[in-house]
Structure 1
Amino acid sequence: MATYKKRGFKPKNKAEAQEFDEQESTTAEVFSTLDEGASRSEEWVSKNQNYILGTIGVIAVAVLGYLAYNQFVLKPKEANAANEMYYPQQYFDQALASTTAKDSLFTLALEGGEGKYGFLDIIEEYSGTKAANLANYSAGMAYLNMNKYQEAIDYLEDFKSDDQILSALSLGGLGDAFMQLGQPEDALGYYEKAFADSNNEFTTPKFLYKAGVTALEMGNNEKALDHFQRIKDEFPNSEAAKSIDAFIGMAKSGA
């Protein structure tokens, strides 16, 4: 057992003297090892000083570059893109409300005019901005309304949003496009994603209904019944619920 050594300690016998010498030797070895380790560390730092400073410099430049890009490039780009959205959005809204000349208004929204950008220009010129992302949604919906379904799919697939309503509408739009292209399985998948993406009184019953009708047309009456019954149980005041009993009857009769 190690013995605590007071200052001025003298061994009482040969055994204590030997133990004391061994402890002193061990302590010396520990400090020697630490000194050697420190020396090697200092030597490594000395040899690689330029590399270390260079790495720190690269990191510092990268951080400063990001901050500068965010402040002087991205923020102005976002602001300009948002301003450019005003012109095509006007034509898009007019097209939705119009009973005539829809295609020409949607075309103006997509391609711009009078020196103003359309949605397609904003997507190209302001890539990576929130406005360009929103322009993907609007362009996809414009093409969907113009019966250009593959183009609608191309742009709606590029749209991503944390807004649950817009996200559900874009997924539902993809379902509509695939349905028109004669791909009901794909359409059903997107309708189901759309009502699963958000639980609200507007989009959920809307896409439950479309999913139910699509499943019914595919002969999957059990799935259709599940979707129709959910509308009846959870959204009895929705537009989709007005004729839901008839669809429930059709699904049950074919099950």
Structure 2
Amino acid sequence: MATYSKKGDKPKTKVEKEHNIEAGSTTAEVFNTLDQTASKTEAFVEKNQKYIFIIIGVVAAVVLGYLGYKEFIAKPKQVTAMNDMFQAQKYFNDAVNGTAKDSLYTLALKGGEGKFGMLDIIKEYSGTPTANLASYYAGTAYLRLKDYKNAIEHLSNFESDDEILAPLAKGNIGDAFAQLNQPEDALDYYEQAAKLRNNDYTTPMYLYKAGALALDLGKADKALTYFNRIKDEFPNSSEAATIEVFIGKAQVLANK
């Protein structure tokens, strides 16, 4: 039959008494330690409260400063930058879609009618998303004007996660290197552009450019890989229309 001790029962043996004494002693030590730690903490806080408040104040100021900068400086600056870039963007679009391209690209870069050009936007609004986008426009405008070194410089400064613009920037750098007669560099950027995103527009375009350049460089196996990807993965692309011809050429050269 099971037994249990009622609350308040006194220990009946010497061992039980010693156990209770030890337990009480340990508990007392724990509480004493906690009291001492709490007292030390209070003493530390009291002694250093001036510095603690300073640290808290600095952290709060940094957080509030960042939030204030973002809300009251960065956002309005971005809006102003977009407004100031409107005319330059219009010049660029007109150059892409119309005639007198060179003069329009120059206006897009340097401005006109008292309005900022892309180069002004980059300088005046450095660090904003608008200045970043202006680097893309400036680099592409320089590419169209055959100023390939400036094209590479500005396009290299452009950063984006955009599905189309990100690979186009890499591919445009490749075009600039190709025009500078640096085919190995051009091939590298075409390959980067093809890998950067997987879509039906930029991917087959840069696979095709990479394949054609690889073929010219005597890298038939690499070219064949790129051409086959276009055939298998992008059969509806414009590049696929004549890809069999290039596949045949690459196969012949690869087997030599």
2:113 aligned counterpart, secondary structure? coil
Cα distance in 2, alignment partners of residues 124 and 104 from structure 1: 22
- Equivalent residue number for residue 57 of structure 2: 57
- Equivalent residue number for residue 82 of structure 1: 82
1:180-201 CA-partner distances (Å, limit 9, x unpaired): 1222222111111112122222
- Equivalent residue number for residue 22 of structure 1: 22
- Equivalent residue number for residue 97 of structure 1: 97
Amino acid across the alignment from 1:221: A
Cα distance in 1, alignment partners of residues 119 and 81 from structure 2: 12
Structure 1 residues 196 and 72, CA gap change in structure 2 (3 angstroms): same
Task: Answer yes or no: is 1:131 the counterpart of 2:127.
Answer: no
Cα distance in 1, alignment partners of residues 118 and 142 from structure 2: 11
Structure 1 residues 116 and 21, CA gap change in structure 2 (3 angstroms): same
Structure 1 residue 219: Cα displacement: 0.5
2:136 aligned counterpart, secondary structure? helix
Structure 1 residue 215: Cα displacement: 0.5
1:115-141 CA-partner distances (Å, limit 9, x unpaired): 210001101111122211110100000
Cα distance in 1, alignment partners of residues 194 and 118 from structure 2: 27
Structure 1 residue 77: Cα displacement: 0.5
* Segment drifting more, 171-180 vs 19-28: 19-28
Task: Answer yes or no: is 1:180 the counterpart of 2:203.
Answer: no
Structure 1 residue 74: Cα displacement: 0.8
Structure 1 residue 15: Cα displacement: 3.5
1:5-63 CA-partner distances (Å, limit 9, x unpaired): 944x5443444333332222222211111111111111111122112111111111112
Structure 1 residue 103: Cα displacement: 2.1
Task: Answer yes or no: is 1:199 the counterpart of 2:163.
Answer: no
Structure 1 residue 167: Cα displacement: 0.6
2:157 aligned counterpart, secondary structure? coil
Q: Give ranges in structure 2 of 5+ residues lacking alignment.
A: none
User: Paired residues, what number?
Assistant: 251
1:157 aligned counterpart, secondary structure? helix
* Segment drifting more, 229-238 vs 191-200: 229-238
Amino acid across the alignment from 2:42: E
Query: How high is the TM-score relative to the length of structure 1?
Result: 0.92
Structure 1 residue 97: Cα displacement: 2.6
Cα distance in 1, alignment partners of residues 148 and 131 from structure 2: 20
CA RMSD of aligned residues (A): 1.8
Structure 1 residues 18 and 171, CA gap change in structure 2 (3 angstroms): same
Amino acid across the alignment from 1:64: L
- Equivalent residue number for residue 106 of structure 1: 105
Cα distance in 2, alignment partners of residues 172 and 190 from structure 1: 6
